[in-house]
């Protein structure tokens, strides 16, 4: 099976703009989670989608939003970008059921806000 894919891999934006990142999960995985990775804060959970519904949410402002489509692909959107939004954004997919909470990560999208 193909792994988790994320597009684009790199993005450069300026303050005040908005950005949309895309994630395609492993085939058959219906849960998609998003994380922000920064040197100062480490890996922080943004939100999780399952069957097109947000099921879990981290402590991020409303500028960060997401959605999931019927084919389980997910997008996250950040509006009114700030310098502090510069980070590696990681998407992870998970197979529902089973005894593990194992997630499979994509390579990430590196966002730079100037």
Contacting residues toward other proteins, per CB under 8 A: 4, 6, 31-33, 35, 42-43, 45, 48, 50, 55-56, 58, 90, 92, 94, 99-108
- Cα(40)–Cα(14) distance, integer angstroms: 21
Cβ closest to other proteins, residue 43 vs residue 114: 43
Cβ closest to other proteins, residue 21 vs residue 92: 92
Taking the complex as a whole, the smallest distance from the CB of residue 14 to other proteins amounts, in Å, to 24
Taking the complex as a whole, the smallest distance from the CB of residue 80 to other proteins amounts, in Å, to 25
- Residue 37: Cβ-neighbour burial (10 angstroms; 0-12, 13-18, 19+): middle
Phi, psi angle pair for 83, to nearest 5°:
-55, -35
Cβ closest to other proteins, residue 62 vs residue 100: 100
Cβ closest to other proteins, residue 17 vs residue 37: 37
- Cα(46)–Cα(12) distance, integer angstroms: 20
Buried b (16+ CB within 10 A) or exposed e, 75-84: bbebeebeee
């Amino acid at each position: 099976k193909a792994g988790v894919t994320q597009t684009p891999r790199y993005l450069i934006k300026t303050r005040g703009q908005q950005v949309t990142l895309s994630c395609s999960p492993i085939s058959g995985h219906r849960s998609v989670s998003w994380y922000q990775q920064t040197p100062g804060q480490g890996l922080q959970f943004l939100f999780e989608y399952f069957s097109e519904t947000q099921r879990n949410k981290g402590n991020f402002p409303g500028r960060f939003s997401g959605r999931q489509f019927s084919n389980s692909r997910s997008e996250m959107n950040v509006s009114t970008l700030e310098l502090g939004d510069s980070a590696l954004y990681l998407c992870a997919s998970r197979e529902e059921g089973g005894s593990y909470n194992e997630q499979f990560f994509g390579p990430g999208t590196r966002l730079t806000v100037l």
